[in-house]
């Protein structure tokens, strides 16, 4: 057995070391941009769009103001509106159902697979109705949803698929990257995502030229030529400043993902070496990489048995180990969606996940000592309840 490690504080995420590694290039590039005073769209945004399309393996990419606006614009392009339903996961960030509600439509929730936290394709068919206008699977925490059966149902019924890949740029499913599998891929460059900007940003990817033209027009108020509007859009533009910073970061993304994967693996190995107990024995479980999936660990989420989550959070807080709950309230139980009629018990796996999971640090620059202290703390906790 390993020796008890020295206590050390561990932030959930610290972006400063990453910035130090690219600082000179960022300062040089942003200085050029400030000299040019060209801030809206233009060459830097186009170059970054091209780079992301190539990276993802999609034909087209449109820089957007946020992941939320990417989702909203994809739904607007499809024509989601009053009377329509959009099938999605209840265990995710708010924006997925929020965008549906903003368009006057209704989100219909499909419960998740407890092993991956992504939509369970076996439950999908049952929630599709003649009103289903889009299917929006979430690639949660950095791992793709099981897309083959989802795409099978969607193609059979002729329903477009919007991938919420906001947490999963670089993740892959059977050799294809997130954002290249469905009709639309939506990405976020919120600073805590694996590719994070210096503020908000997002992207829509697609392989279809028609969808591409529509999303691009929607990004500037539905304009098709200057001041001529055939449809109503919004101001969904990505700043040139964000595009410039993100383009500098993009070549590093795979290396950072490898760092996250290595840390995820090391923390689990250390946990076992410290005698940590698995969930089945009253302890704690780590994320599962599903068959055919390449996980990029935007979040590293552990699960503890019923009623133990608050104790784990308290322990981590006491040891100065950063942690967060993603997400404590499944979307069908959000107050603002009460009119959709969701009740406790409707979606048991999503509700269980919302009560049992905690995200812990995994960012690439964690030190060996931090990983040891984190794994030790988890292992110690996992043994107390057995």
Ligand X SMILES: *Cc1c(COP(=O)(O)O)cnc(C)c1O
Using CB under 6 A, list all residues that contact ligand X: 66-68, 92-93, 95-96, 138, 164, 166-167, 188, 190, 200, 202
> How far is Cα 62 from Cα 203, in angstroms, rounded to an integer?
5
The answer for residues whose C-beta is within 8 angstroms of residue 163's C-beta and 6 or more apart is 136, 137, 139, 145, 147, 178, 179, 181, 182, 184, 185, 186
Question: To the nearest whole angstrom, how small is the minimum distance from the Cβ of residue 197 to ligand X?
Answer: 9
Question: To the nearest whole angstrom, how small is the minimum distance from the Cβ of residue 384 to ligand X?
Answer: 32
Q: Residue 235 gets which letter from DSSP?
A: B
Q: Which is nearer to ligand X, 5 or 197 (CB)?
A: 197
Question: To the nearest whole angstrom, how small is the minimum distance from the Cβ of residue 188 to ligand X?
Answer: 3
Q: Which is nearer to ligand X, 67 or 259 (CB)?
A: 67
> How far is Cα 260 from Cα 364, in angstroms, rounded to an integer?
5
Question: To the nearest whole angstrom, how small is the minimum distance from the Cβ of residue 295 to ligand X?
Answer: 15
Question: To the nearest whole angstrom, how small is the minimum distance from the Cβ of residue 328 to ligand X?
Answer: 15
> How far is Cα 266 from Cα 264, in angstroms, rounded to an integer?
6
Q: Which is nearer to ligand X, 55 or 141 (CB)?
A: 141
Q: Which is nearer to ligand X, 169 or 284 (CB)?
A: 169
> Are 166 and 192 a contacting pair, CB within 8 Å?
no
Question: To the nearest whole angstrom, how small is the minimum distance from the Cβ of residue 192 to ligand X?
Answer: 8
DSSP letters of 273-318?
HTTPPPGGGTSEE-----TTEE---SSEEEEE-TT-HHHHHHHHHH
Question: To the nearest whole angstrom, how small is the minimum distance from the Cβ of residue 362 to ligand X?
Answer: 15
Report helix, strand or coil for 325.
coil
Helices and strands counted in the chain (H then E): 12, 15
Phi, psi of 281 (to 5 degrees): -105, 25
Q: Which is nearer to ligand X, 67 or 182 (CB)?
A: 67
Question: To the nearest whole angstrom, how small is the minimum distance from the Cβ of residue 120 to ligand X?
Answer: 17
Position with the least CB separation from ligand X:
67
Q: Which is nearer to ligand X, 164 or 372 (CB)?
A: 164
> How far is Cα 17 from Cα 310, in angstroms, rounded to an integer?
31
Q: Which is nearer to ligand X, 180 or 242 (CB)?
A: 242
Q: Which is nearer to ligand X, 202 or 259 (CB)?
A: 202
CA angle 254, 255, 257 (to 5 degrees): 65
DSSP letters of 120-159?
-HHHHHHH--TTEEEEE-B-GGG----HHHHHHHHHHHT-
197: left (phi over 0), alpha (psi -120 to 50) or beta: beta
């Amino acid at each position: 057995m390993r020796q008890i490690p020295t206590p050390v504080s561990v932030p959930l995420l610290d972006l400063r070391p990453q910035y130090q590694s690219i600082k000179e290039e960022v300062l040089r590039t942003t200085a050029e941009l400030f000299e040019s005073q060209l801030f809206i769209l233009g060459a830097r945004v186009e170059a970054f769009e091209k780079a992301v399309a190539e990276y993802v393996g999609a034909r087209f990419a449109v820089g957007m103001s946020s992941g939320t606006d990417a989702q909203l614009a994809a739904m607007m392009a499809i024509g989601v509106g009053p009377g329509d339903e959009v099938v999605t996961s209840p265990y995710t960030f708010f924006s997925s159902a929020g965008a549906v509600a903003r368009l006057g439509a209704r989100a219909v929730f499909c419960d998740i697979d407890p092993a991956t936290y992504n939509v369970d394709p076996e439950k999908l068919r049952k929630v599709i109705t003649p009103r289903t206008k889009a299917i929006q699977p979430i690639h949660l925490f950095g791992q793709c949803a099981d897309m083959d059966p989802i795409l099978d149902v969607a193609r059979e019924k002729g329903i477009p698929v919007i991938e919420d890949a906001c947490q999963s740029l670089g993740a892959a499913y059977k050799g294809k990257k997130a954002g290249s599998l469905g009709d639309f891929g939506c990405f976020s460059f919120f600073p805590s995502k694996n590719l994070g900007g210096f503020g908000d940003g997002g992207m829509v990817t697609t392989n279809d030229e028609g969808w591409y033209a529509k999303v691009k027009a929607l990004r500037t108020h539905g304009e098709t030529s200057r001041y001529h509007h055939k449809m109503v859009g919004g101001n969904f533009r990505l700043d040139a400043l964000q595009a410039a910073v993100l383009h500098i970061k993009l070549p590093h993304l795979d290396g950072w993902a490898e760092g996250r994967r290595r840390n995820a693996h090391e923390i689990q190995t250390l946990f076992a070496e410290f005698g940590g107990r698995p969930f089945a024995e009253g302890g704690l479980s780590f994320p599962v990489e599903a068959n055919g999936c390449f996980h990029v660990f935007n979040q590293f989420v552990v699960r503890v048995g019923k009623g133990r989550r608050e104790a784990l959070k308290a322990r981590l807080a006491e040891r100065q180990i950063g942690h967060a709950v993603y997400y404590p309230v499944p979307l069908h139980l959000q107050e603002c969606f009460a009119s959709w009629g969701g009740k406790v018990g409707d979606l048991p796996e999503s509700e269980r996940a919302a009560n049992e999971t905690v995200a812990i640090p995994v960012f690439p620059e964690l030190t060996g000592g931090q990983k040891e202290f984190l794994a030790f703390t988890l292992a110690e906790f996992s043994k107390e309840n057995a």
